[in-house]
Amino acid sequence: MDELVVVAGATGYVGRHLVEGLDARGYRVRALVRSRDRAEKPGAFGAPSLSGHVAEWRIVDFEAPETIEGVCEGADRVVSALGVTRQKASPWQIDFRGNLAVLADAEKHALASFAYVNVLHSDAGDSMTMRSKFAFAQALSRSRVTPQIVNPSGYFSDMTDFLRMAQRGMGFTMGSGSTKVNPIHGADLASFIVDRVGGAGGAWDVGGPDTFTYRQLEELAFRVAGRTPHILRVGEGVGDAMTWLADRGSPRLGNLTRFFVESLTVDAVGTPIGERHLEPYLRSVA
Ligand SMILES: NC(=O)c1ccc[n+]([C@@H]2O[C@H](COP(=O)([O-])OP(=O)(O)OC[C@H]3O[C@@H](n4cnc5c(N)ncnc54)[C@H](OP(=O)(O)O)[C@@H]3O)[C@@H](O)[C@H]2O)c1
């Protein structure tokens, strides 16, 4: 296979697994990155280095649209895992406008498809992260470039937050902790996406092989940490109070808090795919 695939968000947890997976399947990768030096070092949460997996580098800044022009020229397809998670930028600027700039360039250069890593239930979310992702997914679904929209549940990388809290002897659930999630490893998600690159358009809700309640996730985290569980049960009304307070702090804090509360109170269970299980992953990063 000699197709050239533009990867946006190539240095992220999922992006790194995507680049590695595309390269392994014989695609040539054009990676859009802020720093090649950082890209060639191992990523966080066990994600791989991009060293040796990239055919072409483009240095971009998604907050400076002029740096996006021409990134799709001469390429065949786009895969995007671009989005704000722990970064400081606004999700509207990056998840929506950044991806939109790449899509405009893909349309201009008549690329065949655009695979986008969205998030499960972005259509119902209230946070700026959810709204920005949903807005881009809608724009993509109306594009003349074949849209492939993948809606994952939570990632293994995010589940390490529960482990770090358990290692400090703390844990909590919102209400009884009965909200469900089936977290997925970045490599399993990447493999699912790479299988679809080159195929038909569509939308897929996906998650990992095991479904947990947040209570069970806390218990798992304490087991892996080797500590006696101390799990505080936070009343459901506290989420509203936290969001109200955070909104008065800054838009970023308000969005993060709203997104966090959404995650803890709305089930995120996609079609189970992949083979990697959470417990051995958490043990590997403990
Ligand atoms: N984490 C989850 O549980 C979860 C669940 C479902 C869906 N998602 C979505 O999946 C996508 C990938 O998630 P992830 O955990 O792999 O995220 P991540 O590790 O934070 O990676 C995000 C990517 O976007 C890039 N990016 C962010 N802000 C940027 C900016 N201002 N300018 C240039 N590049 C920027 C990052 O570049 P740098 O490395 O240079 O920062 C990185 O390459 C995100 O859109 C996320 O919303 C996440």
pLDDT band at 206 (very low <50, low <70, confident <90, very high): very high
Cβ of residue 34 lying under 6 Å from some atom of ligand 1 = yes
CATH of the domain at 41: 3.40.50.720
Of 259, 256, 269, which is closest to residue 178 (Cα–Cα)? 269
* 187, two tokens: 């490599």
Residue 140 identity (one-letter amino acid)? L
Q: What number is the average pLDDT over the span 147-160?
A: 97
**In the predicted model, what is the mean pLDDT of the chain?**
96
Cβ of residue 183 lying under 6 Å from some atom of ligand 1 = no
**Number of compact structural domains in the chain:** 1
Provide the β-strand partners of residue 268: 181
The whole-number pLDDT of residue 6 equals 98
In the reported structure, the alpha carbon of residue 81 is separated from the centroid of ligand 1 by a whole-number distance in angstroms of 6
165, part of any domain: no
Q: pTM for the whole thing?
A: 0.97
Cβ of residue 158 lying under 6 Å from some atom of ligand 1 = yes
Contacts of 195 (CB under 8 A, 6+ apart): none
pLDDT tens for 214-240 read: 999 999 999 999 999 999 999 878 888
The whole-number pLDDT of residue 211 equals 98
Cβ of residue 82 lying under 6 Å from some atom of ligand 1 = yes
State the Cα–Cα distance between residues 279 and 222, nearest whole angstrom. 11
Provide the β-strand partners of residue 80: 8, 116
State the Cα–Cα distance between residues 286 and 271, nearest whole angstrom. 28
Cβ of residue 132 lying under 6 Å from some atom of ligand 1 = no
* 64, two tokens: 């400076």
277, part of any domain: no
* 175, two tokens: 């209400």
Provide the β-strand partners of residue 171: 231
178, part of any domain: no
E strand spans, 18-101: 28-33, 56-59, 77-80
Which domain range does residue 144 map to? 4-154+184-207
Contacts of 103 (CB under 8 A, 6+ apart): 78, 114, 136, 139, 140, 143, 145
Could you give the percent of the chain with pLDDT greater than 90? 91
Judging by beta carbons within 10 Å of its beta carbon (0-12, 13-18, 19+), is residue 267 exposed, middle or buried?
A: middle
The distance between the two most distant Cα atoms of the chain, rounded to a whole number of Å, is 57
Q: Look at ligand 1, atom 7, and give the residue with the nearest C-alpha.
A: 119
Query: What atom in ligand 1 is closest to the CA of residue 183?
Result: 3
Q: 103 near 77, Cβ under 8 Å?
A: no
State the Cα–Cα distance between residues 52 and 223, nearest whole angstrom. 37
249, part of any domain: no
Cβ of residue 94 lying under 6 Å from some atom of ligand 1 = yes
111, part of any domain: yes
Query: What atom in ligand 1 is closest to the CA of residue 83?
Result: 45
66, part of any domain: yes
The whole-number pLDDT of residue 235 equals 86
Query: What atom in ligand 1 is closest to the CA of residue 34?
Result: 40
The label of the residue with tokens 């690329």 reads: 111
284, part of any domain: no
Residue 1 has pLDDT above 70, yes or no: no
49, part of any domain: yes
Cβ of residue 152 lying under 6 Å from some atom of ligand 1 = yes
Residue 157 has pLDDT above 90, yes or no: yes
The label of the residue with tokens 């703390």 reads: 170
pLDDT tens for 237-265 read: 888 898 999 999 999 999 899 988 888 88
The whole-number pLDDT of residue 237 equals 85
Q: How many CA atoms are closer than 13 Å to the CA of 57, on its beta-carbon side?
A: 14
pLDDT tens for 162-198 read: 999 999 999 999 999 999 999 999 999 999 999 999 9
Helices (H), ranges, the chain: 13-24, 36-39, 91, 99-108, 128-141, 156-167, 186-196, 214-225, 237-249, 251-265, 278-285
pLDDT band at 116 (very low <50, low <70, confident <90, very high): very high
Q: Look at ligand 1, atom 5, and give the residue with the nearest C-alpha.
A: 154
